A and B are shown apart, each in its own frame.
Chain A
Amino acid sequence: MVFIKDAKKEFLDQIINKRVLVFVHLDVDALCSWKILQHLLHCEHILYSVIPINSKQALEDAYNQHKQVANNIILINCGATLDLVEILQPPEETIFYLIDSLRPLEVRNVYNGIQIKIIVLQNELGIEQKLVPEYEDIFDEEEENDEENEEEEDGDENLDEEEPERNRSKRKRFDPEYLEKMHAKREWESKRSKILFEYYKYTYHRCSSSLVLFDLAWKSAKDNNDLLWWSIIGLTEQLINCKIDRDIYTRYVVELNSHVLRHNHRPAVNALGTSNTNPAPDDVSINCLKISHLDDLNMVLLRHWSILESIYHSIDLACLFKMWTNKGKKKLNEFLADLGLPLNECKQKFAYMDSSFKNDFKMLVASENIKEKYRYDENFIYLSTFIASFGYTNKLTAFDMAYAVEALMENVDGEKNLSDKFIEALNCLNRENLKALECGIETAKNHLKKIYQQIQNFIDMNQIVASGPFLQVFLEEGSNENPFFSQIFTSKKLARFALQSYLALTKGKKVRNMPLIVCIPLNESNTLIAGVPPYRATNNTENCFGLAFDEAAEKTKSRVNFSYFDTSIIEINNEDKSKFLDALVAVMQ
């Protein structure tokens, strides 16, 4: 088992005086972990070069280009699910350090003791090891070295396509002892493939890599408020993109809260986190970062635009009020009236609302009669998060930051290449750069508007159609929003929102636990297909599409490119799109 026991000794101390090459995947969690790692590298004077990665192909090209730079390579949120040694063919002495929240880990990575080291949270080491199947029943010593072999396992049973090819060998002569050995082998093989099938069935996420790195920084006494803030943002992004579900999120929030109290031992900001009416005479100067825990409203970017807009664009509330129908809009006005908020107040920017409404808005929303009238409960409307104040600017919750950074990363207008987006998003993360943050929030706002608009179209022309085991929705050809929607996380977000809104608006029981596929035409030749697991209030993070896409592609031999690390997103050629979807229906049955 090659999980790193003590990250400080086996990871940080190993790369002290060596040059390091870092590949960072383009997602907020990876960006935050890179900021933390960068700080650690600065403290130890370690030379590094960092390259943003968004697909497997990019990883291979970048690796081949920079192979000779360093033989210590760190991969953040990319590559853990690939058989790195096979794909990259690294020279003997290169060592890969993997920090990744995506599971399941590639079995060969886990068991490759020499070249690959996987870093996970110390206290979750036990669980991780139990998740991975035992060594014996995957690799069979004598089977590897003795080359004789008999017929291939049956096709669909064999799951990962990189299974080393069984080299053909002539059949040995029959004798009882050989027959009996053959029988044991076949039975072991079927057990093995069943285990592997079970292991690779679902792709899901475990602890965010920024948390792992913060833990490392804490253990080597190099943690400070900034690193803590970045790891909070990394964790929040995991919740936004439904990589982890609410109770795992709350567990980590509690854990982080202990760190927050350690770093910012000061009275918590007042309830709504807007103005600290009687500023306690804390002794730290105003321009240091101060973080505190806060039960915030589950309304997206609430502090940056009006309440109305915020409710429109937060998906849970929109589905609660069925916002896309006029009846829904009326219901919302009625809701606001019940709260005693005049309409023009709600249209005003939240920051400029007069403070009487603002302060008790939070309490009112959770008052008893409102709750049962609109049938929602405490943890639907409240979301435990953290709020940071720096200098005299307004306060920011972790959600605002996560939305802003993601928006900057997936920003399509203005032809920026990958590294420009990467640098821009990184700038938005360090707190001195308020300009970048404002621009990030603005971009996030119009991204949410675009998605809302698209969902509105879906509902009006009811494009979401149930076909067999899953729902399906197509975006029409050549709409100028397609490049925007074809980004990795935006496509997943669109699919999730579409699924949730569809369920909110249709009665049908059968449709309740159906996953959804969205097909977005990339250019004339191929489209992007993204699959989202069925919407269950609690645990809707396990995604079975990775496997299903695999099999369907194999069956129909269609030109599919699995270039994204998230296996539930693929690009497929237009011609064999319909053929592929029918095969998918068959597989998913």
Chain B
Amino acid sequence: MDNEYSNVISSIRSINTDESSSLSSNTNEEEYNHHTNGTEAYSTHTNGHDNFDEDEDDEEEITPAELIEKLQQSWLNEKFSPELLEHKTAVVECIIEQIKHMENNIRSAKKGDFRIAIHKLELDRIKFLLYSYLRIRIKKIEQFASSILEEDNRRPSNIRSKLSAEEYAYASEYLKNVRAHLTASVLEHLPSNLQDLNEAVTMPRPDLDKFVFLRTMDNIKGILIDDMTNDGRNEIIDMDKGDLYIMRYNPIKSYVNSGEVQLI
């Protein structure tokens, strides 16, 4: 039975890159056969910036272990940043694929197999990460539905939307229901001139001045901070690799998306 089990598992390693996700961990067959034991996952080359833009389909392998690492990082970022970050579609889809493979692999394995409990345990951990990540995003969408959608409509066509397809559908659906509910329950009974929801003022917006802890992943020069007092006196600081900081979210907003800064 064991050999049958191992070639099933090797199918996980060589996930064929179907059209949806450019990210693939297709460590080819023969690399897998010479057992590289020890716990360091095989280090296939990954370029520094893991940009997962869909359109140009560069083949850059990333091992499942790094995949989980990325998921954990984006989970932490999403958890601490006040605003909705960019959706890591590639990572999420690849993780889902891995889980599916592992699950039908467990189903096919012999019932009393000693490894099943361990694989299940690991699957539960990864699922927890994934579900928590998606749940946090949905919570934010519900909180700032109108401002997210408004921003999404305003964005120029070449930048990717922050929301995944399903999230976009959910957000618009949610916003429609909230508006319908507010009008039905209150606004209808008010005199006509007050019936406008005037979302410009009342729309809840993410509070970008929230303070966050962060760790810099590599040296960053010239971050503008403290542009508070209106007489334009602001401070520029540099941060070197591996430092821990606590500061407002606003100054480092762009660095989080690009991965130079990791929220803790």
Give the interface of A toward B (CB within 8 A).
16-17, 45
**Nearest residue, chain A, Cβ from B112:** A17
Q: How many angstroms from the CA of A45 to the CA of B112 in the assembled complex?
A: 9
**What residues of A have a CB within 8 angstroms of the CB of B112 in the complex?**
16-17
Which residues of the partner chain A approach B117 to less than 8 Å between Cβ atoms?
A: 45
A17 vs B112: C-alpha distance in the bound complex, in angstroms? 5
* B-side contacts of A45, CB under 8 Å: 117
Interface of B is mostly: loop
A16 to B111, CA, bound (A): 10
Q: Hey, what's the 0/1 contact readout for B96-138 against A, CB within 8 Å counting as 1?
A: 0000000000000001100001000000000000000000000
Cα A17 to Cα B111 with chains together (Å): 7
List the 4 closest pairs (A to B, CB-CB), nearest first: A17-B112, A17-B111, A16-B112, A45-B117
Which residue in chain A gives the minimum CB-CB distance to B110? Answer: A17
Q: List 4 A-B contacts (CB under 8 A).
A: A16-B112, A17-B111, A17-B112, A45-B117
How many pairs of A and B residues are in contact by the CB < 8 Å rule? 4
List the A side residues contacting B111 at CB < 8 Å.
Answer: 17
Instruction: List B residues at the A interface (Cβ < 8 Å).
Output: 111-112, 117
- Inter-chain CA distance A17–B114, complex, in Å, is 10
- Measured CB to CB, the nearest residue on chain A to B111 is A17
Chain B residues closer than 8 Å to A16, beta-carbon distance? 112
> Whose C-beta in chain B lies nearest to the C-beta of A17?
B112
CB of A11, distance to nearest CB on chain B (Å):
15
A45 to B121, CA, bound (A): 13
Alpha-carbon distance A45/B117, docked complex (angstroms)? 8
Report the bound CA distance from A16 to B112 in whole Å.
7
How far apart are the CA atoms of A16 and B117 in the complex, in Å? 13
**A16 CA to B113 CA, complexed, in Å:** 10
CB distance from B187 to the nearest CB of A (A): 57
The CA of A45 and the CA of B111, in the complex, are separated in Å by 12
List chain B residues, Cβ under 8 A from A17.
111-112
Which residue of chain A has its CB nearest to the CB of B116?
A: A45
Name the residue of chain B whose CB is nearest to the CB of A16. B112
Tell me how far the C-beta of A40 lies from the nearest C-beta in chain B, rounded to whole angstroms. Answer: 15
Minimum CB–CB distance for A225 against chain B, Å: 25
Residue of B nearest to A46 (CB): B112
Q: Determine how close the nearest CB of chain A comes to the CB of B106; give it in whole angstroms.
A: 13
Report the Cα distance A394→B117, complex, angstroms. Answer: 39
CB of A499 to closest CB in B, whole Å? 53
| Cα–Cα distance between A16 and B110 once the two chains are bound (Å) | 12
Distance (Å) between the CB of B193 and the closest chain A CB? 68
Q: With the chains together, A17 CA to B110 CA distance in Å?
A: 10
Would you give the shortest CB distance from A42 to chain B, in whole angstroms?
A: 11
Closest Cβ–Cβ distance, residue A569 to chain B (whole Å): 42
CA A27 to CA B99, docked complex, whole Å = 47
Q: How far is the CA of A280 from the CA of B117 in the complex (A)?
A: 41
Question: Chain B nearest CB: distance from A472 CB in Å?
Answer: 57
How far is A350 from B238 in the complex, measured between Cα atoms in Å?
72
Q: How far is the CA of A424 from the CA of B117 in the complex (A)?
A: 31
* B213 smallest CB distance to A (angstroms): 34
Q: Measured between C-beta atoms, what is the minimum distance from A60 to chain B in Å?
A: 31
Shortest CB-to-CB span from A263 to chain B, Å, is: 26
In the assembled complex, the Cα of A143 lies from the Cα of B1 at a distance in Å of 48
Provide the bound-state CA to CA distance between A376 and B166, in Å: 87
How far in angstroms is the closest Cβ of chain B from A43?
11
Q: Chain A residue with minimal CB distance to B117?
A: A45
Least distance between A197 CB and chain B CB atoms (Å): 46
Q: A212 CA to B245 CA in the complex, in Å?
A: 61
- Nearest chain A CB to B120's CB is how many angstroms away? 10
Bound form: Cα–Cα A54–B208 in Å: 68
Docked pose: A350 CA to B112 CA in angstroms: 53
Q: How far is the CB of A107 from chain B (nearest CB, A)?
A: 35
Which of chain B's residues has its CB closest to A13's CB? B112
Q: Within the assembled complex, what's the spacing in Å between the Cα atoms of A226 and B112? A: 27
**Bound-state Cα–Cα, A356 to B105, Å:** 69
Q: What's the Cα separation between A412 and B112 when bound, in Å? A: 43
